[in-house]
Amino acid sequence: MTGRVKSALYARAARLDAPWVWALVAAAVGLVARAQGTARWEVRLGYVQQRRGRLDLARAAYERAAAHPECLLAWRLRLIDLYEAQGELRRADQLIAELASRAPEQHAGAEVWEQLGAVRHRTGDRPGADTAYRAALARAEPGTSVSSGARLRLARLLDEVGHWAQARELLDEEIAEQPDHAEAWRLLATVAHHQWQWGGSFEGALAAPDEAVLRPLGSAGADPVTARARAHVVACGALEEAVRLAPDQHPWWSSLGDLRREAGYRAGAIEAEQRGLDGALAQDRPSAFRLRHPREFKLERAYHEAGLPRVEDPLFDVGFEVVEDGTAATGAARSERPVGLFTARATFYAVRVEGFALSRDVDVVEVLLDDVVLRQVNVGGEGFFPEVVLVLRRATVDLLPPDAELRLRTERGPLLAEGRGEALRVRVPHGSGELPGILQRGGSLDKKGHVRPAESEAHAHQDAYVALYAKVRDFFDEHVGTPLFALYGTLLGAYRDGDLIPGDDDFDATYVSEHDDPVAVKHEATELMVALVQAGFTVLFNRRGRLFRVAHDAIGGPDVHVDVAPMWFMDGRAWVHPQLALPATREDFLPVRDLTVRGTTVHVPQRPEVFLEGNYGSSWQHPDPGFVYYRSAVDRQTHRTLNRALLRPSEYRALQERLAGPDARPGMGRLVAIGFHPLYPLNEVALS
């Protein structure tokens, strides 16, 4: 098979992205690999199997290639990369150590060190990655692609760990050598904006956040306010240059809209946000569903702030201001080792409180509004700094006081507001001020940012979820021939407590697909969606193109829905959205068992413990009110495989045409893409 034929096969398979095409390519490449018996063809077979999502077959091919003495180091790095993608960090580290122990002349090339740094970075070895990137820079010829690649990878690593001052120095060097490097300008804008946002830069070892020290801007003698303003000017100028060099990068235009808005350049913000929105809507990717609403919000807010309002939205007037504490602004010692940092911002659906702790010893953060605890939040995520996130949904924001102070505290002390203040003053002109009283009377805020209603009202709402599940369950039993069974939090409550978890506002369910490929699973699910709509159900899917939600006008309308996620088995794992690839077998789930929840039969997996322990850990039997998912905790290969089962805008439009034409039936329900509904005028579908 010639290189030209091979490339044509790859291109055709990638364009069609159909399981049978990739299977055909795998068979063809596999025949050549067996005939040739070379490392090169085993690597090619591994690549094709990886594109198919058959990770175990890909790994076997890469391992056969690695056993050949002529196997190139770059090919061995693919195997390391796959080990890491499957979560086998120890095997990845062992192979890295083996390669690094070989004769130095085998590893003298700058490109090899850059690749080795990338692998170490992905395995979480940040000090090792730092060393490898710097070794690559020391060996690379200035101005070459290897030099640029290593420098940008190192700058991204330093940005990740908060060493923004060092990252800026590297990027200044890169831009001096390569002034037309658009990505370098974009990354410089990101780094400088982080300095502006958090008021300084971290220093310390890359091994742990506990050793990080925050050096405030201006600590060398310059006025901190002036130094912070300069950082924002650098960010603005860098991103302006980036979009000049790469005008088709619509995410950069959206980020530029933020910078121009912060700088008070209203007309420029409108222009940038419009280009960002237009770019998002023009693409045929699942991400188009999730980009529309945030960008519509930012565009209309820019018009509002420019005195040219086109729509009404009370979140446009929500504001935040740092309450200075008299020490952080002067660079005193207290601000150099804070417990953590936080900020808040208004988004299209909520106010988001975001931050991070500087110590792995911090497990829980209390979020307070004035003196009232809104919620205790678990810290988590797989980033260098443990993350803190609390969402206050629109209906909750409506209940905030018009003027209040937001604080985050831990047992070790408070988190600093944007690195320099004791609190954030939150101004909500339309706020009723009812939330503190609701909380003091025993109300609570759930993990999704909603105020939990009175127990009796919540119980009645959950009854509607159970009734809807029964209706959808019967449809699956009678018309699909495969059971619809409980999963995630619904399974946890039903199996552990014999009821839904108090305050839960959804019903999670799944069915086992007949297929073992994510694209085939998606096609099967779309046919099932058509059948549900024809039967009178309303089918919705979320802003990521994830399949799917089921509602019915006779039981609560769109506010009451069952979240249905197809499950398939591949490479010894059970795959199901939003982020699960669990070592399990079909026999762990089928045949289903039956439990009784509120007088209704609920199907559950044959061995519920397998899923519950795999998803929630060994502590699943003990309620954790602060539990929250962090998507960063899931490896990138799992995301890639799961994302192949997401719906694209063109596929949604094709389904709509079918249901409006040849597949139309009397008394049908509706097919709704939440992310394709216009955000304005504000409506419940777009905000759900």
Task: State how far Cα 532 lies from the chain centre.
Answer: 29
Residue 629's pLDDT is: 52
Long-range contacts of 641-644 (CB under 8 A, 24+ apart): 641/53, 641/55, 641/518, 641/570, 641/575, 641/581, 642/518, 642/575, 642/577, 642/578, 642/579, 642/581, 643/286, 644/17, 644/53, 644/518, 644/519, 644/522
Compute and round to an integer the Cα radius of gyration of the chain: 27
pLDDT tops 50 at residue 552: yes
Confidence at residue 397, expressed as pLDDT on a 0 to 100 scale: 97
Write down the pLDDT at residue 603.
Answer: 97
> How confident is the model at residue 330, as a pLDDT?
41
Cα separation, 239 vs 96, in Å, equals 37
Q: What is the pLDDT of residue 632?
A: 45
Tell me, what's the pLDDT at 243? 98
Residue 218 confidence class, pLDDT cut points 50, 70, 90: confident
Cβ-Cβ contacts under 8 Å for 202 (sequence gap 6 or more): 161, 162, 163, 164, 212, 213, 214, 215
User: How many other C-beta atoms are found inside a 10 Å radius of the C-beta of residue 5?
Assistant: 10
Spatial contact of 75 and 62, defined as CB atoms under 8 Å apart:
yes
Residue range 625-640: mean pLDDT, rounded: 59
Residue 103 has pLDDT above 50, yes or no: no
Residue 565: is it exposed, middle or buried by C-beta count within 10 angstroms (0-12/13-18/19+)?
Answer: buried
Higher pLDDT, 28 or 188: 188
pLDDT tier for residue 198 given thresholds of 50, 70 and 90 = very high
For the chain, what are the domain ranges?
42-208, 247-312, 346-440, 455-687
235 vs 212: CA distance, rounded Å: 24
**Is pLDDT at 8 greater than 60 in this prediction?**
no
pLDDT, tens only, 30-73 = 888 888 888 889 988 988 888 887 888 898 998 898 888 888 77
Q: What does the pLDDT read at residue 3?
A: 52
The reply to whether omega before 338 is within 30° of 0 (cis) is: no
CA-to-CA dists, residue 94 to 88, 100, 436, angstroms: 10, 10, 54
Q: Considering the domain 42-208, what is its CATH architecture?
A: Alpha Horseshoe (1.25)
Q: Is the pLDDT of residue 630 over 60?
A: no
The whole-number average pLDDT for the span 281-294 is 90
489 and 506 Cβ atoms separated by less than 8 Å:
yes
Mean pLDDT of all residues in the chain?
87
| pTM of model > 0.85 | no
Q: In terms of Cα–Cα distance, which of 393, 255, 418, 425 is closest to 314?
A: 393
Mean pLDDT of 450-463: 76
The residues near 233 (Cβ < 8 Å, ≥ 6 apart) are none
Query: What's residue 255's pLDDT?
Result: 97
Could you read off the pLDDT of 303-314 as tens digits, one per residue? 999 999 999 999
Q: What are the backbone dihedrals phi and psi of residue 359, each rounded to the nearest 5 degrees, phi first?
A: -145, 140
pLDDT in tens, 368-418: 999 899 999 999 887 889 999 999 999 999 999 999 999 999 999 999 999
| Burial of 472 (C-beta count, 10 Å sphere; 0-12/13-18/19+) | buried
Among 93-102, 160-169, 555-564, the least confident range: 93-102
CATH classification (class only), 346-440: mainly beta
- Euclidean distance between CA atoms 212 and 207, whole angstroms: 10
Distance, in Å, from the CA atom of 388 to the CA atom of 342, rounded to the nearest integer, reads 8
State pLDDT tens for residues 135-144.
889 888 888 8
| Residue that is written with structure tokens 């924001």 in the block | 397
For residues 472 and 535, the answer to whether their CB atoms sit within 8 Å is no
Per mean pLDDT, which range of 74-83, 437-446, 648-657 is the poorest?
74-83
371-378: long-range contacts, CB 8 A cutoff, minimum separation 24: 372/435, 372/436, 372/439, 372/440, 373/439, 374/435, 374/439, 374/445, 375/444, 375/445, 375/626, 376/625, 376/626, 377/626, 377/628, 378/624, 378/626, 378/627, 378/628
Mean pLDDT in residue range 125-133: 90
Do 423 and 407 meet the contact criterion of CB atoms below 8 Å apart?
A: yes
Q: Which of 62-76, 137-151, 653-667 has the highest mean pLDDT?
A: 653-667
The pLDDT of residue 66 is 86
pLDDT at 626: 53
